[in-house]
Amino acid sequence: MTPLSEDPIVMISPNPLNFPQVLLNQSLTRNMSIMNGGGGTAAISSVTLSGSPSSVS
C-alpha cells in the first residue's frame, strides 16, 4: 500500500464512533480501528472521552 503522505496520518474507522443512550448500571461495547495511512511513525499518547461515566479498556 502506498502511503498517503510522508508524515503520519491517523485514520479512525468508523468516524464518528457513536454510542446510543445506555441505561444506568448497563454497559455497551463499540469497536474501532486505528490505522496510520501515512508514511511516518504515528503514536497515540492519550485518549479523551466526553460524557460521564465513560471508560476505555
**pLDDT recorded at residue 33:** 93
How many whole angstroms separate alpha carbon 19 and alpha carbon 29? 9
Place of cell 463499540: 30
**Rg (Cα) of the chain, in Å, rounded?**
15
The whole-angstrom separation of Cα 50 and Cα 56 is: 11
Max Cα–Cα distance, the chain, nearest Å: 46
Question: How confident is the model over 3-55, as pLDDT tens digits?
Answer: 778 899 889 999 888 878 888 888 888 888 999 988 889 888 887 777 766 66
- pLDDT band at 57; cut points 50, 70, 90: low
Local confidence band at 56 (pLDDT 50, 70, 90 cut-offs): low
